[in-house]
C-alpha cells in the first residue's frame, strides 16, 4: 500500500482539482504538501503511521519510491492507518496513491469516528503501478479520528469432507462468479398489468418470466405491489370511492404477495412514495406503513423495499434526499420495528456528469440505517458520454461496501429500451454493453480454483458476489458437486463452508 495524503479546505487553502485516472509507475507528489497528515512522503520511516487491525506494516523503498506495505492481512480492513484531528463542519479532501500485490482490487478509504465509519473514497488499485484514490468527507464532530483502508474482498474457507465427516485431501474446488444473478420485470408485476379490468386478474406473463428465472438460477425482485404515482394506476380505480378503493387495495396486496410468497428476493411495496402520494391522499397518511406491514404478514421472510429515484443521482431534488428517505423508513417502522426493510435506489442518472461525491455521501448516510442497499434500476440518459458516465457510476456503486446488489434498467425490445440499451437489435454490444463485460471480467468473472490441504481446507479471498462452486475428488471419478453461494459483507471476516462429497 502506497503513501497517502490528506489535505483539507480551510483558511487560505483553495481546492486542488487535479486527479489521475491512469495507473502510474511513480506516484505523484502529495496534494497540499500532505495537509494534516504526518510524514506524508514517508521521509521519516513509519513516523505517524500505525497498523490497523491485525496487519504488519513496513517502510520500504523501490526505484526512488518510499511507501508503506501492509502485509500478513487476514481481514479486509487490515491495513495502514494514521490518527487525524478533525474539526466539526469542515470539508476534508482526501487523496492517496495505492498499489496492491494481486489483480485489480477495490480499495476504500475509511475514517473511523465516534459517529461511525465515514467512507472517503474508493479506487480500483492494480499491481505494479500506482492508482490515485481521491475523495473527501465532512466532519460531523471535533475529535481525533483514524484513517485506514479497506478492500472489498472476503476470505472464504471451504472444507471438503466425506460422508462420515472426515476431511478429504486433494479435492478440486473451483469458484466462478455468476454473470447475472438478479432481475426485475419491467411491467409484468405492476397492478395495471395484472388487473387491467377490475376483477380480471392475469399473471400469465409474470408467471412465465418467474419460471424462466428460476430455471436459470436468477433471483427476482418483486416490482411492484403499488405505485404511488397517479399516472401509473389501473384506469378503473379512479372512479372508486375511498371504501371501494380500500377493498381493491386489500385484494391486490393479498393476491400478488400470496401468489409469489417465498419466491422473490424482495418486494417494492409502495413504489416512489417520497415523490408521490396517490394512495395517501385517498386512504390516509398511514397507507405505506400499513401496506408494508400487511405484505410482511403474508410473506414474512422477504425483504420489503422502499424504491425511489434521485436520492443519489440528483442533489437538486430535495423530495427523496437521504434525510427524507430515512424519515420515511422511520414512518414505515412506526407500526412494526421488526419489518425486514431494504433501501432501493433507482439510479436513473441524467445526461450530465455524475456527481460522484454526492452519490458517495448519500450512500454513507443511508448506510447508517444498517439496512441492505440495492441499486435497483440503473441507467444513464442517452448522450455522447453515456458509456463513460455509466462506467463511473457502476464503479462508484460497486466499490461502496454497503451496496448489496446492482440491477440495470436496460430491458431490450424491438422498439428500443427505456433510456439505455446494452446491445443493438442484432444483440451486438453497444458501448454500454462493452462496459458491463469489461467490469464483469475485472471484478472476478474468471474462475478461482485450487485443491484442499491435508485437513480438507481450501482458503481464498474473493470479491463480494454470487458464486457457483464445484467440488470433485480423484477417488470419486465422474462425480462433481455444484453449490451456489453468496459472498457479502458480514460481521465475521471469514466465511466458512463445509461440503460433503
What's the rounded Cα separation, in Å, for the pair 27 and 13?
Answer: 23
End-to-end CA distance of the chain: 40
Reading the block at residue 346, the C-alpha cell is 433507482
Distance (Å, rounded) from C-alpha 324 to C-alpha 101? 42
Helix (H, G, I), strand (E, B) or coil at 193: helix
Q: How far is residue 98's CA from residue 101's CA, in Å, rounded to a whole number?
A: 10
For the chain, domain boundaries: 32-152, 155-178+445-500, 182-443
140: Cα within 13 Å, side-chain hemisphere? 11
pTM: 0.70
58 near 29, Cβ under 8 Å?
A: no
| Preceding peptide of 257 cis, ω within 30° | no
CATH number of 32-152: 2.60.120.260
CATH architecture of 182-443: Alpha-Beta Barrel (3.20)
What cell numbers appear for 397 in the block? 456503486
Of 370, 266, 375, nearest in space to 311 by CA: 375
Q: Which residues are known to be catalytic?
A: 377
pLDDT tens by residue, the chain, 501 residues: 344 333 333 344 666 767 676 789 889 888 888 889 999 999 999 999 999 998 899 999 988 889 999 988 877 788 999 999 999 988 788 888 999 887 777 788 889 999 888 877 777 788 889 988 887 777 889 999 999 888 767 778 899 998 888 999 999 999 887 777 899 999 999 999 999 999 999 999 999 999 999 999 899 999 999 999 999 999 999 999 999 999 999 999 999 999 999 999 999 999 999 999 999 999 999 999 999 999 999 999 999 999 999 999 998 899 999 989 999 999 999 999 999 999 999 999 999 988 887 888 788 889 889 999 999 999 999 999 999 999 999 988 988 878 999 999 998 888 888 899 999 999 999 999 999 999 888 776 567 889 999 999 998 877 777 788 899 998 877 778 888 887 766 545 578 888 888
265 three-state secondary structure: coil
Question: Which residues fall within 8 angstroms of residue 29, CB to CB, at 6 or more apart?
Answer: 41
Q: Is 11 exposed, middle or buried (0-12, 13-18, 19+ CB in 10 A)?
A: exposed
Q: Which CATH superfamily is domain 155-178+445-500 in?
A: Carboxypeptidase-like, regulatory domain (2.60.40.1120)
Nearest to 26 by CA among 99, 92, 114, 106: 99
162-168 long-range CB contacts below 8 Å, 24 or more apart? Answer: 162/500, 162/501, 163/500, 165/500, 166/456, 167/452, 167/454, 167/455, 167/456, 167/457, 168/452, 168/456, 168/473, 168/501
Q: Which residue has the cell 500485490?
A: 101
Amino acid at each position: 500500500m502506497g503513501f497517502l495524503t490528506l489535505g483539507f479546505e480551510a483558511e487560505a487553502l483553495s481546492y486542488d482539482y487535479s486527479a489521475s485516472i491512469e495507473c502510474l509507475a511513480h506516484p505523484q507528489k502529495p496534494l497540499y504538501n500532505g495537509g494534516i497528515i504526518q510524514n506524508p512522503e514517508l521521509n521519516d520511516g513509519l513516523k505517524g503511521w500505525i497498523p490497523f487491525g491485525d496487519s504488519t506494516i513496513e517502510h520500504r523503498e523501490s526505484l526512488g519510491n518510499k511507501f508503506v506495505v501492509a502485509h500478513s492481512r487476514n481481514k479486509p480492513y487490515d491495513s495502514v492507518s494514521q490518527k487525524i484531528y478533525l474539526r466539526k463542519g469542515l470539508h476534508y479532501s482526501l487523496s492517496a496513491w495505492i498499489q496492491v500485490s494481486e489483480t485489480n482490487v477495490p480499495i476504500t478509504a475509511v475514517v473511523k469516528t465516534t459517529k461511525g465509519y465515514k467512507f472517503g473514497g474508493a479506487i480500483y488499485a492494480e499491481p505494479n503501478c500506482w492508482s490515485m484514490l481521491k475523495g473527501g468527507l465532512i466532519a460531523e464532530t471535533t475529535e481525533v479520528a483514524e484513517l485506514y483502508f479497506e478492500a472489498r474482498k472476503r476470505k472464504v474457507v471451504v472444507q471438503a469432507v466425506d460422508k462420515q465427516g472426515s476431511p478429504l485431501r486433494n479435492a478440486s474446488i473451483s469458484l466462478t462468479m455468476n454473470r447475472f444473478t438478479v432481475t426485475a420485470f419491467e411491467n409484468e408485476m405492476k397492478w395495471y398489468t395484472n388487473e387491467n379490468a377490475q376483477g380480471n386478474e392475469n399473471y400469465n406473463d409474470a408467471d412465465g418470466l418467474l419460471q424462466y428465472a428460476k430455471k436459470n438460477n436468477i433471483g427476482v425482485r418483486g416490482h411492484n405491489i403499488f405505485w404511488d404515482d397517479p399516472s401509473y394506476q389501473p384506469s378503473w380505480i379512479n372512479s372508486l370511492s375511498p371504501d371501494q378503493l380500500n377493498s381493491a387495495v386489500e385484494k391486490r396486496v393479498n393476491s400478488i404477495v400470496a401468489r409469489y410468497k417465498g419466491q422473490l428476493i424482495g418486494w417494492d411495496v409502495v413504489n416512489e412514495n417520497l415523490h408521490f402520494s396517490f394512495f395517501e391522499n385517498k386512504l390516509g397518511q398511514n397507507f405505506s406503513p400499513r401496506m408494508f406491514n400487511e405484505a410482511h404478514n403474508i410473506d414474512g421472510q422477504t425483504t420489503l423495499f422502499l424504491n425511489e429515484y434521485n436520492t443519489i443521482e440528483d442533489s437538486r431534488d430535495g423530495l427523496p434526499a437521504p434525510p427524507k428517505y430515512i424519515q420515511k423508513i422511520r414512518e414505515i417502522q412506526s407500526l412494526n420495528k421488526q419489518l425486514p426493510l431494504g433501501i432501493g435506489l433507482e439510479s436513473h442518472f441524467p445526461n450530465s456528469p455524475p456527481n460522484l461525491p454526492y452519490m458517495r455521501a448519500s450512500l454513507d448516510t443511508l448506510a447508517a440505517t444498517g439496512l441492505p442497499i440495492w441499486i435497483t434500476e440503473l441507467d444513464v440518459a442517452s448522450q455522447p458520454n453515456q458509456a463513460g458516465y455509466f462506467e463511473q457510476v457502476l464503479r462508484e456503486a460497486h466499490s461502496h461496501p454497503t451496496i448489496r446488489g446492482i440491477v440495470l434498467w436496460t430491458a431490450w425490445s424491438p422498439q428500443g429500451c427505456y433510456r439505455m440499451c446494452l446491445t443493438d437489435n442484432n444483440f451486438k454490444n453497444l458501448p454500454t454493453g462493452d462496459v458491463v463485460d469489461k467490469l464483469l471480467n475485472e471484478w472476478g468473472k474468471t474462475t478461482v480454483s485450487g485443491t484442499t490441504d491435508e485437513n480438507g481446507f481450501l482458503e481464498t479471498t474473493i470479491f463480494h458476489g454470487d458464486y457457483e462452486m464445484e467440488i470433485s475428488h480423484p477417488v470419486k471419478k465422474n462425480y462433481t458437486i455444484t453449490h451456489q453461494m453468496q459472498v457479502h459483507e458480514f460481521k465475521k471476516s471469514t466465511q466458512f463452508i463445509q461440503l460433503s462429497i
